[in-house]
């Protein structure tokens, strides 16, 4: 966590006080003291305020301010403790001409307070919230207004603080800032490191030693030699920014976006063999590098600056690189951080570099670039504008699902919406998470800066779990009767992240279909049972109904919820059903495989056997005789009745008793000679009454003939 102390010798600073009783008179920004408060005598206009400004050029924009403290040395205090209020000023001001009448307004949305004692000495005021707003660019930095929290001429609150022009330098105002560069979502150029190397043996080529870089880092290198020739490089990726010559020293400048690892370049000159020297800065989060100025001074001097000019955008980092053909030391411009300052004996050159964060400024002045050398000589200055990748985090709109849904078996949980990113060519990935399960992708796209990136993903609830296709997105069962949550957000490849959008939902574990009625023992029956039932599914799923007799399927069909059905035993199957206990069962199975059953048990008994042909035999003429044979056992005590007709297609056939001939194994001659139907036909019906028989009646089959 870097810590920087800003004061008069290292940054541009201005201060002044204003006095209400003399509203048009400038109170001299070059005085040794600042005044705040009132003497307490009740005199008209006896109110003082002070203003202090620090240039933040040594602090990167958009960093995290851990601590920010304004130091003021109190040389005179009031009779009692009072509270000071500090606000950010809302407009620029001139410390020479400032007075009560032209003092700028202040922003009351940001405020720092401190209750200070009456004793003299250093006072430390926490101004973190104000400095963070300046650094973020939320409000511009015009400095602090320092005043009584509650201004009144009737109270003694008068304080004297030592100003920047006080001869006691350790008592001058200071702004002490401790900050951290964010690890993601950077909006500032980050100075990572610097390195220098040289070559004392004259040669027309030189391989510079530079810092190992991460992919995407940016190098800016200054290459110095002592001949007048064009400096070039064939090393991949290096781009020349500029070059200048003063008759003694040649300085050339190159930049490169690092591929990662060691990108050490080799340089050549057309000027012949010479000694070489280089200094290299490694930067990260760089969008672009451009040269603003590159020149030697026209003669010997101790100070050299670029002419003022424009920057392409705000939040730039301005970098200066200097050279002079002698030994000595450089002093960077006020508000700039010196990065390097060294004399190289092989080339007889002293080089330096400095950096200054420009915040909301889109122009620079000569004073912003003034570099000072320890002795008079020809001075060289190259000035570069480095623009950061000012990544804007993506935004996300979630159109589906709605909040507080309840999912039943087979229900879908659609994840749909759009993401947007103002930064062109950012790769945007939409992500989602159920509860604290794995984070998964819902979609992605490359931003064009304006067109929303649509995404759609459908999760399916099944078997107590959520699936994305065949992937179990949580990896565990989802509990019933508790809130689960879906989180959706978007991330870009520059470290930006949208706000998370959350939807709550609940689940119902799948329940089997419900069959009406209860399991029933029908007791002893002699006729086929006929039972009605209906089926419904709690989750509204489709279902299939299967009816069984003793485990054998009677029929299977798709059911309709609430519709009434009848389960029975067909006559042919009933006749073959033994006189014993049996189970009739109805099973309803939903689309997820869950099922329920309804069972009916019964014991079949019977005192008769009755059957008739399903379809009569069609005859082309009236049948005159019929022969019917019965294969079976009819025990003593049982009675047999066999009837036949030759006009079976009539509405009321003429049934004739043929029991005697059947029992005797003979044919029977029909007595009937009429019909009402179109066709003649033969039909047979049999009725066996058990009567007093104690042995079972057995029917194995029957046969016959007619003419």
Tell me the C-alpha to C-alpha distance, in Å, between residue 527 and each of 268, 532, 548, 602: 112, 16, 17, 11
Report how far residue 483's alpha carbon sits from residue 406's, in angstroms, rounded to the nearest whole number. 10
**E strand residue ranges, 285-348:** 286-304, 309-310, 317-324, 330-331, 337-344
Residues sharing a CB contact under 8 Å with residue 298, sequence separation 6 or more, in sequence order: none
**pLDDT score at 334:** 94
pLDDT per residue as tens digits for the range 514-570: 999 999 999 999 889 999 999 999 888 899 999 999 999 999 999 999 999 999 999
User: Among candidates 297, 278, 306, which has minimal Cα distance to 376?
Assistant: 297
CA 647 to chain centre: 85
In this prediction, what percent of the chain has a pLDDT beyond 90? 79
Q: Which fold has domain 3-180?
A: Jelly Rolls (2.60.120)
User: CATH topology of 395-507 equal to that of 608-706?
Assistant: no
Q: Please provide the average confidence, as pLDDT, over all residues in the chain.
A: 93
Which of 365-374, 437-446, 574-583, 615-624 has the lowest average pLDDT? Answer: 574-583
Distances (CA, A) of 226 to 269, 277, 345, 380: 10, 10, 12, 14
25-39, 151-165, 207-221, range with the lowest pLDDT: 25-39
Distances (CA, A) of 360 to 53, 62, 141, 152: 16, 11, 9, 37
* The pair of three-digit structure tokens given for residue 382, joined into one six-digit string: 């190259």
The residue length of the chain stands at 707
Dist. CA 343–CA 350, nearest whole Å: 4
Task: Enter the DSSP assignment of 659.
Answer: H
DSSP collapsed to 3 states, 444-497: EEECCCCCCEEEEEEEEEECCEEEECCEECCCCCCCCCCCEEEEEEEEECCCCE
Rounded to whole angstroms, what are the CA distances from 230 to 71, 125, 138, 246, 342?
52, 55, 46, 14, 24
Look up tokens 């950077």; give the residue.
Answer: 186
CATH topology of domain 608-706: Jelly Rolls (2.60.120)
Question: How do beta strands 595-604 and 520-525 pair?
Answer: parallel
DSSP type of residue 59: S
CATH topology of domain 514-604: Immunoglobulin-like (2.60.40)
Report whether pLDDT(271) > 80.
yes
Superfamily grouping for domain 395-507: Immunoglobulins (2.60.40.10)
Q: In terms of C-beta density within 10 A (0-12 exposed, 13-18 middle, 19 or more buried), how is residue 64 classed?
A: middle
Question: What tens digit of pLDDT does each residue of 33-60 get?
Answer: 999 999 887 788 889 999 999 999 999 9
Closest to 507 (Cα-Cα) out of 466, 473, 475: 466
Q: What pLDDT sits at residue 224? A: 94
Phi-psi region of 684 (alpha: psi -120 to 50; beta: other; left: phi over 0): beta
Q: Where are the domains of the chain?
A: 3-180, 190-388, 395-507, 514-604, 608-706
Weakest-pLDDT range from 40-49, 402-411, 525-534, 647-656: 40-49
> Rounded to 5, what percent of the chain is helix, strand, coil?
5, 50, 45
Instruction: Return the structure tokens found at 379.
Output: 């001075």
Q: Which residues contact 139 (CB under 8 A, 6 or more apart)?
A: 88, 90, 107, 110, 133
Q: What is the token pair recorded at 378?
A: 């020809």
Structure tokens at 313: 């955008």
């Amino acid at each position: 966590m870097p810590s920087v102390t800003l004061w008069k010798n290292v940054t541009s600073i201005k201060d002044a006080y204003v006095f209400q009783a003399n509203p048009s008179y400038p109170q001299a920004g070059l005085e040794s003291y600042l005044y705040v408060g009132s003497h307490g005598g009740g005199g008209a206009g006896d109110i003082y305020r002070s203003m202090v400004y620090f240039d933040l050029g040594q602090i990167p924009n958009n960093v995290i301010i851990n601590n920010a403290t304004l130091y003021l040395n109190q040389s005179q205090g009031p009779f009692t403790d009072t509270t000071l209020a500090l606000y950010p000023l809302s407009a620029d001001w001139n410390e020479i001409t400032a007075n009560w009448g032209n003092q700028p307004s202040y922003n009351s949305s940001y405020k720092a307070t401190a209750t200070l004692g009456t004793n003299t000495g250093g006072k430390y005021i926490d101004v973190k919230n104000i400095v963070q707003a300046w650094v973020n660019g939320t409000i511009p930095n015009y400095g602090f207004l320092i005043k009584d929290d509650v201004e009144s001429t009737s109270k003694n609150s008068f304080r004297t603080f030592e100003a920047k022009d006080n001869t006691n330098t350790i008592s001058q105002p200071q702004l002490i800032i401790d900050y951290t560069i964010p690890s993601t979502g950077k909006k500032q150029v980050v100075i990572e490191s610097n390195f220098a190397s040289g070559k004392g043996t004259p040669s027309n080529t030189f391989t510079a030693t530079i810092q190992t870089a991460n992919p995407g880092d940016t190098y800016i290198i200054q290459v110095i030699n002592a001949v007048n020739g064009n400096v070039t490089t064939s090393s991949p990726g290096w781009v020349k920014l500029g070059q200048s010559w003063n008759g003694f020293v040649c300085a050339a400048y190159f930049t490169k976006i690092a591929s990662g690892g060691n990108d050490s370049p080799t340089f050549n000159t057309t000027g012949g063999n010479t000694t070489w020297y280089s200094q290299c800065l490694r930067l990260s989060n760089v969008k672009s590098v451009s040269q603003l100025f590159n020149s030697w001074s026209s003669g010997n001097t101790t100070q050299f600056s670029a002419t003022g000019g424009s920057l392409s955008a705000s939040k730039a980092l301005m970098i200066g690189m200097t050279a002079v053909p002698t030994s000595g030391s450089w002093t960077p411009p006020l508000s700039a951080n010196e990065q390097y300052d060294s004399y190289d004996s092989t080339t007889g050159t002293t080089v330096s570099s400095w950096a200054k964060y420009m915040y909301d400024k889109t122009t620079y002045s000569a004073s912003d670039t003034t570099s000072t050398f320890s002795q008079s000589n020809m001075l060289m200055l190259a000035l570069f504008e480095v623009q950061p990748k000012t990544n804007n985090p993506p935004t996300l709109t979630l159109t589906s699902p709605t909040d507080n849904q309840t999912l039943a078996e087979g229900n879908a949980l659609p994840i749909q919406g759009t993401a947007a990113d103002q930064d062109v060519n950012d790769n945007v990935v939409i992500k989602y998470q159920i509860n604290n399960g794995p984070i998964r992708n819902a979609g992605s796209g490359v931003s064009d800066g304006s067109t929303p990136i649509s995404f759609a993903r459908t999760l399916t609830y099944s078997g107590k779990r959520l699936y994305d296709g065949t992937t179990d997105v949580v990896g565990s069962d989802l509990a019933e009767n508790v809130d689960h949550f879906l989180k959706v957000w978007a991330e870009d490849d520059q470290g930006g992240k949208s706000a998370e959008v959350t939807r709550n939902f609940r689940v119902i574990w799948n329940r089997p279909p419900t069959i009406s009625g209860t399991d029933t023992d029908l007791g002893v029956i002699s006729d086929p049972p006929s039972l009605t039932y209906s089926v419904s599914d709690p989750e509204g799923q489709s279902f299939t109904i299967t009816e069984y007799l003793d485990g054998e399927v009677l029929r299977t069909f798709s059911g309709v919820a609430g519709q009434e059905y009848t389960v029975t035993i067909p006559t042919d199957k009933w006749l073959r059903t033994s006189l014993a206990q049996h189970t009739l069962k109805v099973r309803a199975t939903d689309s997820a495989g869950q099922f329920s059953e309804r069972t009916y048990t019964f014991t079949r008994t019977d005192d008769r056997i009755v059957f008739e042909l399903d379809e009569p035999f069609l005859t082309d003429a009236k049948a005159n005789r019929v022969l019917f044979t019965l294969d079976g056992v009819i025990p003593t005590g049982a009675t047999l009745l066999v009837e036949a007709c030759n006009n079976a297609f009539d509405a009321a056939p003429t049934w004739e008793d043929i029991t005697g001939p059947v029992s005797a194994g003979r044919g029977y001659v029909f007595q009937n000679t009429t019909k009402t139907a179109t066709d003649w036909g033969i039909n047979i019906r049999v009725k066996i009454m058990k009567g007093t028989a104690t042995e079972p009646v057995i029917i194995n089959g029957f046969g016959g003939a007619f003419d």
